[in-house]
Chains A and B, each alone.
Chain A
Amino acid sequence: MKEKHKQLHQQYVNNLTKQKRYVRLTQCSMLLFFFVFWEVAAALKWIDPLLFSSPSRVWELLLTRIQDGSIVTHTSVTLSETVAGFLLGTALGTVMAGFLWWSPFLSKVLDPYLVVLNSMPKVALGPMLIVGLGPGFTSIIAMGALISIVITTLVVYNAFKEVDENYLKVIRSFGATKRQAFFSVVFPASYPSIISTLKVNVGLSWVGVIVGEFLVSKQGLGYLIVYGFQVFNFTLVMLALLVIAVLATIMYQFVELLEKKLIRRHHT
């Protein structure tokens, strides 16, 4: 009997592994097919290689740009701006949500303003930021942060508000102060919502930073895209896009790692 169960379990595990392998295989072949098709289409002139470039050209450009070091500079500029904007936006948004939770009066007063700010397209504020903060680093980071701060505030504040009142009763029955109640109950109870806004913010801060670089145009991947477009070097544009795709994915993976660490046991 025991033996049989073991066998069945082994079979079950094998099946799972097999399924996972199929999924991975299909994903890889799709990617491979995409690049091969792109290459062939460009070589046979189905698409205009001047406009759409080709994987081999992008690859060559990548190698030369790595050799002269320029891609590394541009990438690190954009990446640091994005990470800074992301962290700043998320942190400030969460702190803001904390204040709103703390003071119901403040949250009632600010409610309409937050709604307006949230529905406003934040990138439209770009020129104002540049006027205020100067055409550089600061404006671009501000853009990356601004784009996620309001939505973070709203979502996290909602999560704070929706924490089951009974958990608060438990901690207050031990004589907890408001501060203690916040840090030992409200905040940890909201980890899942905070993580899901982090996921959204990864994408948003890339948008903010790239648009910022479009406007300021000195260096960075956004600058490469605009520059490549202006001099009709679409290989450069494609290269910048691919680098962005890879980096954004890596950042997202980091957030998922954090999620696994923080909310393993979160759901009852």
Chain B
Amino acid sequence: MAFLELKNVEKTFFSKDSLNEAIRNISFSVMEGEFISIIGPSGCGKTTLLSLISGLVLPTTGKILLDGKEIQRPSPETGYMLQQDYLFPWLTIEENITIGLKTMGNLTETTRKRALLLLKQLGLADHAAKYPNQLSGGMRQRAALVRMLSTGPKLLLLDEPFSALDYQTKLKLEDLVFSTIKEHKKTAILVTHDIGEALVMSDRVILLSHSPGSIQRIFSIPEELKALIPFAARNHSAYNKWFQEVWKELESLERKA
């Protein structure tokens, strides 16, 4: 059985004098441990899709099932990382990464130690007592990742986590996030506008069409790329061919629009 299943999901935003159809008729399913990327033109509803899966927003029609149960509200099974880090500036990094545990009433000495260990694994051990504004963009992004992972969610939702970073930092973080996720055997959905990133991180890439977003095409990444860590995958001979393929599809979308 699929771990996550979307059935004919649609979302329309209503306001007093307009209505805005963000996504239309989206159906797909994700297996446990799978890494999915979602790409598509700006404003096509990628963020909307993630917030629907997170349970923060409910679909206008259709169903989203997590482990066979319909999602009605945010679940402890799901971790959501927003488009920017949104660390709370009035809390230290340690307080930031444990706030999820605290909110869920799970903050014990053991869970706190585990969160700090995770912080250490992502190379931020020395910064636990600092405040977010004392950290660089890449460090903050890593701290936000720890905050999400600290509560032990099984499904990770990542909204363009690397888009605000410089290229080098981005490549390093891709590797780090990739191996962290694989090591902990998590299921992940990554939104990105970087075709390369989508190809090297994921098992499947879902391409959304212009708004209202609907599924244009799903690419299954071949084993030879999937097995490699992102940096190595970018240097693999198959990488270019796939990049061209996705690029062409995106181009054809542009022409239609």
Binding site for B on A (CB under 8 A): 164, 166-167, 169-176, 180, 184-185, 188-189, 191, 263, 265-268
Contact = CB atoms under 8 A, between A and B. Distances in A.
Contacts of B56: 169, 172-173
Interface stretch (B74-82, B209-217, B240-248): B74-82
B90 A169 contact: no
A268 B88 CA distance: 9
B103 A268 contact: no
B103 to A, nearest CB: 4
B133 A173 contact: no
Contact of A175 (B82, B88, B91, B104): B104
Contact of A170 (B75, B82, B89, B104): B82
A266 B89 CA distance: 6
A265 B99 CA distance: 17
Task: Pick from B88, B91, B131 the residue with the most CB of A within 10 Å.
Answer: B88
B84 A180 contact: no
Contact of B75 (A164, A175, A180, A265): A175
Interface of B: 51, 54, 56, 73-76, 78-80, 82, 84, 86, 88-91, 99-100, 102-104, 131-133, 147, 151
Task: Pick from A170, A171, A176 the residue with the most CB of B within 10 Å.
Answer: A170
B99 A173 contact: no
B146 to A, nearest CB: 13
A175 B90 contact: no
A188 B89 CA distance: 10
Contacts of A267: 89, 133
A265 B91 CA distance: 8
B74 A172 contact: yes
Given A189-B90, A265-B89, A174 B103 contact: yes
Contacts, number: 63
30 contacts: A164-B86, A166-B86, A169-B51, A169-B56, A169-B80, A169-B82, A170-B82, A170-B88, A171-B99, A172-B74, A173-B54, A173-B56, A173-B74, A173-B78, A173-B80, A174-B76, A174-B99, A174-B103, A174-B151, A175-B73, A175-B75, A175-B76, A175-B103, A175-B104, A176-B103, A188-B91, A191-B90, A266-B89, A267-B133, A268-B132
A259 to B, nearest CB: 13
Nearest to A265: B131
Contacts of B51: 169
Contacts of A171: 99, 103
Contacts of A180: 103
Given A171-B99, A173-B79, A188 B74 contact: no
A188 B147 CA distance: 19
Given A175-B73, A175-B74, A184-B99, A170 B86 contact: yes
A185 B73 CA distance: 19
B103 A188 contact: no
A22 B187 CA distance: 64
Given A169-B86, A175-B73, 15 more contacts: A170-B82, A173-B74, A173-B79, A174-B74, A174-B99, A174-B103, A174-B104, A174-B151, A175-B76, A175-B103, A175-B104, A189-B90, A265-B90, A265-B133, A266-B90
A125 B100 CA distance: 48
Nearest to A192: B90
A190 B113 CA distance: 30
Nearest to A180: B103
A174 B107 CA distance: 13
B15 to A, nearest CB: 15
A166 B82 contact: yes
A263 B100 CA distance: 22
